[in-house]
């Protein structure tokens, strides 16, 4: 999970007008008002750009997800609108997440992940949010299994928050584990001969390719913006201090 920065001066894409018309006060009102909101496409494009093309929870690249599997997205309410109706149109509560509603037939039950799996279950005090600047520090990744786990260097109560979040979002769903495992193994296979030969220049070029954004077009949203490659946080950990150096040189805002 990587931090998603919401600038104070960001355009609110018709959201302020909805708030001026009166925030919903019940779950039913929230569902009805959100269904009728006509700014979803424009908002999705803005969130795609803000999130550098990545799903807010899984870090799947949403353009790859569209091109390779024909899967879409949904606008996620971090705090569910059924329980927090007054935040239905709160820009700080909205994220772009993998899987459109029509995609759920391919990911049913325990195969689902992200916002759809979370549903209406939510404990704000325990949840690790991508809006938190330090959210990346809560998790570690295994290239051998593709699993995401709590960072054992954290205090026990913080580890519990990480595990709660992993379970709530089903971040170890079979599809995600397999995708992470394959991606991390491919990167490590590329790195191994470069490390053995001491080719630091090539390692740095590889880090730049994997960790810095490039312009891509998302066909589902018909929108082009700077995007990162999938599982950015996991790959960032693979490159360690060299990766941090590359990010600071080329894209410090990431």
Give the mean pLDDT of 18-38. Answer: 92
Contacts of 216 (CB under 8 A, 6+ apart): 53, 63, 224, 225, 227
pLDDT for 16 equals: 87
Q: What are phi and psi of 131, to 5 degrees?
A: -80, -15
Interhelix angle 200-211/232-250, rounded to 10 degrees, is 110
Q: Confidence band (pLDDT; 50, 70, 90) for 118? A: very high
Range with lowest mean pLDDT among 66-80, 108-122, 230-244: 108-122
Percent of the chain with pLDDT over 90: 90
How does pLDDT run across 120-159, given as a tens digit for each residue? 889 999 999 999 999 999 999 999 999 999 999 999 999 9
pLDDT for 146 equals: 97
- The dihedral of CA 183, 186, 190, 192: what is its sign? positive
Q: Where are the beta strands (DSSP E) in 78-150?
A: 94-98, 139-141, 148-150
How does pLDDT run across 182-191, given as a tens digit for each residue? 999 999 999 9
pLDDT for 115 equals: 95
Q: Between these two residues, 8 and 235, which has the higher pLDDT value?
A: 235
Q: Where are the beta strands (DSSP E) in 53-145?
A: 73-77, 94-98, 139-141
Output the average pLDDT for the chain.
Answer: 95
Quickly count: other Cβ atoms within 10 Å of residue 88's Cβ: 25
How does pLDDT run across 194-227, given as a tens digit for each residue? 999 999 999 999 999 999 999 999 999 999 999 9
Contacts of 253 (CB under 8 A, 6+ apart): 5
Percent of the chain with pLDDT over 70: 100
- How distant, in Å, are the alpha carbons of 70, 96, 227 from that of 45? 17, 9, 12
pLDDT for 42 equals: 94
Q: Is the pLDDT at 173 greater than 80, yes or no?
A: yes
CA 190 to chain centre: 25
The pTM (predicted TM-score) of the whole model is 0.95
Listed by start position, the domains of the chain span 15-250
For residue 102, what are its two tokens?
């029509």
How does pLDDT run across 50-105, given as a tens digit for each residue? 999 999 999 999 999 999 999 999 999 999 999 999 999 999 999 999 999 999 99
How does pLDDT run across 1-27, given as a tens digit for each residue? 999 998 777 777 789 888 888 889 999
Q: Is the pLDDT at 108 greater than 80, yes or no?
A: yes
């Amino acid at each position: 999970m990587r931090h998603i920065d919401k600038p104070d001066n960001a355009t609110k894409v018709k959201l302020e007008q909805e708030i001026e018309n009166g925030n919903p006060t019940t779950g039913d009102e929230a569902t009805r008002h959100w269904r009728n909101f006509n700014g979803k496409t424009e908002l999705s494009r803005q969130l795609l750009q803000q999130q550098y093309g990545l799903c807010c929870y899984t870090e799947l690249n949403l353009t790859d997800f569209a091109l390779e599997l024909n899967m879409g997205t949904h606008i996620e309410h971090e705090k569910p609108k059924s329980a927090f109706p007054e935040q239905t149109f709160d820009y700080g509560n909205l994220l772009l997440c993998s899987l459109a509603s029509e995609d759920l037939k391919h990911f049913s039950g325990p195969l689902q992940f992200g916002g759809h799996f979370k549903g209406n279950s939510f404990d704000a005090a325990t949840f690790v949010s991508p809006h938190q600047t330090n959210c990346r520090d809560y998790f570690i990744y295994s290239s051998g299994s593709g699993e995401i786990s709590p960072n054992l260097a954290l205090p026990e109560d913080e580890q519990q928050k990480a595990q709660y979040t992993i379970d709530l979002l089903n971040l170890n769903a079979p599809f995600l584990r397999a995708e992470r495992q394959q991606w991390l193994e491919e990167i490590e296979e590329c790195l191994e001969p470069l490390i053995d030969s001491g080719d630091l220049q090539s390692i740095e070029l590889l880090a730049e390719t994997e960790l810095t954004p490039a312009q891509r077009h998302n066909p589902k949203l018909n929108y082009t913006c700077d995007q990162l490659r999938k599982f950015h946080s996991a790959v960032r950990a693979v490159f360690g201090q060299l990766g941090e150096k590359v990010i600071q040189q080329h894209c410090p805002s990431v």
